[in-house]
Structure 1
Amino acid sequence: MNSRSDFTEVFPEILPGIVSQNPIMIKLAGYLKKISASDGAVFLNGETGTGKELFASAIHQLSGRLGKIVCVNCGAIPESLFESLFFGHEKGSFTGADRKQHGFFYQANEGTLFLDEIAELPLMHQAKLLRVLESRKFSRIGGSEVLDFTGRIVSASHQSLEQLVEGKEFREDLWYRLNLFEVAIPSLHQRRDDIPLLARCFAMSSGRITLAPCALQLLQSSEWPGNIRQLKNTIDKLAVLADNQYVSADTIRQLAMVAEPVDCATRVAKEIIDMPITNKLKTIYDALIEQAVEISHGNKSEAARLLGVHRKVIERRMAQIHIVR
């Protein structure tokens, strides 16, 4: 497999640079394709390691914008350099400014300015960013020329900006400017069916290892708090440390590459606890009954068998939640 076309045939991309077969991801891809053509600001919210920069790049590629994408990690910007890095500066405007420097706003013109970890931006600099987004104009430090900002803003954070706004740690007016389109990036545990596909993709990209079915099963049942970044790092380390090209589950265990998988029931329980619903026990209990009845086409005995309970349990619960069959 030597060409890009061969690679994408085996690992179909739902967005440029993003491989998945998960229904949630496929639906998300359709939404991003719709909004990419607009100039509206996009906010990407997702856990660390979910690939937010990849999504920003995909949005930029789909947009057809003539400029380039400029990626900025707001958490790594020294406070004293914010204006110089974002606005640029004229030669001689301050000590050490030995030449004119174009800032991020200028570099992203007709393109996309991706502001990663936007929540890390101090309030003082949030106000300066807001002024540019409102006026679409800026000037270099030490310069009098007023320049237009024609780039599109895509921002991202693993934190809830809504909560930060409520706590007065993030400007509400800037938040409204950033989230015309708010996109939730699924964590890897929400797209667990993608783990074997991604693992094979990373292994093939390394050109050094092949993962056995048992290895893929182990990876799929393991926990990945670091999401896709952690999975990729694991495969990259396997490509270096594995003694044989064909990697089994035992090899992964021997190299201590993954923690022992959490059993299925525990994993599901954790996912339910994380769900934004009230009275989780009743909600899930009712949903199980409804799904079992639906799958069994109203056959109470079959529904009871699916759930491993007595038929009377189904009948009582059906009466309580008013399922008419």
Structure 2
Amino acid sequence: METVKKFTPMFPQVLPGIISNNPDMRKLANHVIKIAKSSGTVFLHGETGTGKELFAKAIHKLSERQGNLVSVNCSAIPENLFESLFFGHEKGAFTGADKKQQGFFYQANHGTLFLDEIAELPLAHQAKLLRVLESKQFSRIGSAELMQFTGRIISASHVDLERKVDEKAFREDLWYRLNLFEITIPALHQRRDDIPLLANYFAQSTNSIHFLPCALKLLQFSEWPGNIRQLKNMVEKISILAESTTISEKTIQQLSVCHDITDWATRVAQEIIDMPISNKLKTIHDALIEQAVEVSNGNKSEAARLLGVHRKVVERRLAQIMSLR
């Protein structure tokens, strides 16, 4: 497949490494910028694939901390290695400890410790983490030396931790320590206007394909349960499998790389209900008519055809709209 040589567009970043044009994302970014300079704990909540680690990286970068960002997937930590991995150990502290090892707390000193999937941490280990958060001190296994922990804790989960607390599956005192600042990252279906932007960004990174407008529209109104991660994987898959560098709606459908929404009416209705406007029916009714007239270049008959109504409906509503202005 030949390499695509196109003008490289600028992709707007609301935070370092986070691309968006969505108004709600811009508001969220302003909130993140305010809290980034503090040393308070941050809890990131969002569905799988929404970019929680990207937010953690952005917060760390904006904080201007001198230390490293250390990312830990709590669901991948073996229970018998928790203390060794987090606290570190001295040489000879236990069988197999053939050298001194610094743990995550030490590595993240003066920096940020990002604990992803924090809900997967067993209760016994939650207590040990809580002690470090309360005392700001820790010591390696096999050592009596107390060291200061000066790092910032950012944690994340795709599950409802408050529900976990109610079920006694997560310590309430630790939960309060972790969420001084709580940030909810929107799912991709809550920011559909960003999908074409993100698809183009991922396509550019492949340096091999570009999307036609019809393809971007299909992607925008498709289901993305895996959110941004799924969209990124889909673009990479297309870049490998597509016969042409130009990707159309037909190409996407032939490759079966995403599932378009079959119940359009239900989806559109739900998105309208979620909109922060008062009289939704009137607002959407007026917007549909005005948009149809604009698309039709002022031709009321054509606007009526697009909407599937009689021309008089369009004329009557336009007259009402104009009388109120």
Q: TM-score range by the shorter chain?
A: 0.7 to 0.9
Q: Could you give the per-residue CA deviations for residues 35-94 of structure 1, whole angstroms, max 9, x where no partner exists?
A: 000000000000000000000000000000000100000011000000000000000000
Q: After alignment, is 285-294 or 80-89 more displaced?
A: 285-294
Cα gap change, 1:214/1:289 in structure 2, threshold over 3 Å: closer, same or farther?
closer
| Aligned match of 2:49 | 49
Does the 8 Å contact 1:221/1:262 carry over to 2? no
Q: Could you give the per-residue CA deviations for residues 192-221 of structure 1, whole angstroms, max 9, x where no partner exists?
A: 000000000000011011111111111011
Q: Which amino acid aligns with 1:94?
A: F
Q: Which amino acid aligns with 1:288?
A: K
Q: Which amino acid aligns with 2:280?
A: L
| Aligned match of 1:182 | 182
Provide the TM-score with structure 1 as the length reference.
Answer: 0.83
| Aligned match of 2:110 | 110
Distance 1:289 1:265 in 2: 14
Distance 1:285 1:206 in 2: 39
What SS is found at the alignment partner of 1:110?
Answer: coil
Q: Which amino acid aligns with 1:174?
A: L
| Aligned match of 2:321 | none
| Aligned match of 2:150 | 150
What SS is found at the alignment partner of 2:53?
Answer: helix
Equivalent pairs counted in the alignment come to: 290
Does the 8 Å contact 1:221/1:261 carry over to 2? yes
Gaps of 5+ in 2: 1-6, 289-303, 314-325
Q: Which amino acid aligns with 2:94?
A: F
What SS is found at the alignment partner of 1:114?
Answer: strand
| Aligned match of 1:218 | 218
Distance 1:271 1:179 in 2: 29
Does the 8 Å contact 1:218/1:261 carry over to 2? no
Provide the TM-score with structure 2 as the length reference.
Answer: 0.83
Gaps of 5+ in 1: 1-5, 276-282, 297-304, 312-325
Distance 1:20 1:271 in 2: 19
What is the percent sequence identity of the aligned residues? Answer: 64
| Aligned match of 1:159 | 159
Shift of 1:287: 3.8
Shift of 1:105: 0.3
Cα gap change, 1:122/1:287 in structure 2, threshold over 3 Å: closer, same or farther?
farther
Distance 1:17 1:72 in 2: 19
Does the 8 Å contact 1:223/1:262 carry over to 2? no
Distance 2:239 2:21 in 1: 24
Cα gap change, 1:272/1:120 in structure 2, threshold over 3 Å: closer, same or farther?
farther
Q: How does 1:227-266 map to 2 (within 5 A)?
A: 227-266=227-266
Cα gap change, 1:146/1:251 in structure 2, threshold over 3 Å: closer, same or farther?
same
What SS is found at the alignment partner of 1:10?
Answer: coil
| Aligned match of 1:32 | 32
Would you say 1:288 and 2:277 are equivalent positions?
no
Q: Which amino acid aligns with 2:79?
A: E
Does the 8 Å contact 2:272/2:280 carry over to 1? no
